[in-house]
Structure 1
Amino acid sequence: MGNVYGGGGHDLYLSNGGTAVFADTLMLAVTALAVTDWDFRFAALIARQDQSLMGSGAVGFALEDVDWGEDPTEWARNKRFVLDVAGLALDRHRWDELGYEPPFALKYLHRFRRIVAAFDPSTATGEPDELPAPHDVIPASCVRDRVLTPLAWCDACMFCGRDRGVRTGPVR
């Protein structure tokens, strides 16, 4: 069982362990770069890749299903943001804080960055559930791990939930 990330006819298939590494490294990077509402929605999409929250083998996304914006200017800006996130992750941003050496992460991130670079956002369908809706996203951070906790209905960051046994899931 695994998860698929793709776009434009290209896929990155990751095992569940590979997905955890991929999501961890992207979350560290997206936390450093998110500024706009769209950025925080993308951060929430990365947070939804947490399999302790969503279930093993139940994550992944297609770039075609992401709402990239309303016009070519927004498409270009948002694509640049995703490329910058992947680039910062490739620079091993905060990897020393992971507590493990992310095996194969550079390979996964290079492949993802190539897929995004080749993708044409004008071909996206913008499926309503793929990129979390603005009302499901908050610009909040976990104080302990210094990463975004952008899902309004989740009570822990992806690192707290997985590494420290904190319950993740809908806030009651």
Structure 2
Amino acid sequence: MSTSFRMHSKHNNPDEWLCMSNGGTAVFLSVLVLSGSRLAQEKKEKELIIWISEHDDTVRGRGCNGFDIEDIPWDFNNFERERSFILKVIEGAREKLGWETLHYEPNEAFVFSYLDTFKNLIINFDPVYIDKEA
């Protein structure tokens, strides 16, 4: 099985999706959460990292941990600030923030590629897809 991350449910170009194996997804989510848990200061930032951590396959089951960027619990009115925080989390993961706590050494080539693709999804995400009622 594999996992896919898209911008939104109508994002029909698989060449722009982030797709990876279950093992790759586990590492990807781990490095994001390690970085984010060190960078989060405000309540909303902590909530965003908790939300990402809940997509670990031990919680949802293997192959069920992908999500669309629109699914992230964005606050429409604070979207740009929240996007900026997620981009800092991605950069922190690229700087190996928190990696010293892992019991293994992630394959940088794979992880950095995943982080770069995820960064592009975050940068290019149009907030018009945010569900303001959620």
What's the TM-score bracket when you normalise by the shorter of the two chains?
Answer: 0.7 to 0.9
Given that residues 65 and 126 in structure 1 are in contact (C-alpha distance below 8 angstroms), is that contact kept between their aligned partners in structure 2? no
**Secondary structure of the structure 1 residue equivalent to 2:19:** strand
- Structure 1 residue ranges, 4+ long, deviating more than 6 angstroms after superposition: none
Name the residue aligned to 2:87.
83
> What fraction of aligned residue pairs are identical, expressed as a percent?
33
Structure with more of its chain in helix, by fraction = 2
Shift of 1:121: 2.0
Matched, 1:114 2:120: yes
Given that residues 75 and 122 in structure 1 are in contact (C-alpha distance below 8 angstroms), is that contact kept between their aligned partners in structure 2? no
Structure with more of its chain in strand, by fraction = 1
Identify the match of residue 17 of structure 1 among 14, 23, 26: 23
Name the residue aligned to 1:134.
none
Please tell me whether Structure 1 or Structure 2 has the larger radius of gyration of its CA atoms.
1
Q: Which runs of 5+ in 2 are unaligned?
A: none
Amino acid at match of 1:84: K
Given that residues 6 and 121 in structure 2 are in contact (C-alpha distance below 8 angstroms), is that contact kept between their aligned partners in structure 1? yes
Shift of 1:127: 7.6
Identify the match of residue 69 of structure 1 among 42, 64, 75: 75
CA separation of 1:122 and 1:36: change in aligned 2, threshold 3 A: farther
Shift of 1:126: 5.5
- Asked which structure has the greater RCO (Cα within 8 Å, sep 6+), the reply is 2
Shift of 1:120: 1.8
Given that residues 66 and 126 in structure 1 are in contact (C-alpha distance below 8 angstroms), is that contact kept between their aligned partners in structure 2? no
Aligned residue pairs, count: 126
CA separation of 1:37 and 1:114: change in aligned 2, threshold 3 A: same
So what's the TM-score if we normalise by structure 2? 0.84
Given that residues 76 and 130 in structure 2 are in contact (C-alpha distance below 8 angstroms), is that contact kept between their aligned partners in structure 1? no
Name the residue aligned to 1:2.
2
Shift of 1:65: 2.3
Q: Deviations over 1:71-106 (max 9, x none)?
A: 2xx111001011110111011112232121212111
Amino acid at match of 1:88: G
Distance 1:127 1:93 in 2: 34
Name the residue aligned to 1:124.
130
Name the residue aligned to 2:53.
47
CA separation of 1:35 and 1:107: change in aligned 2, threshold 3 A: same
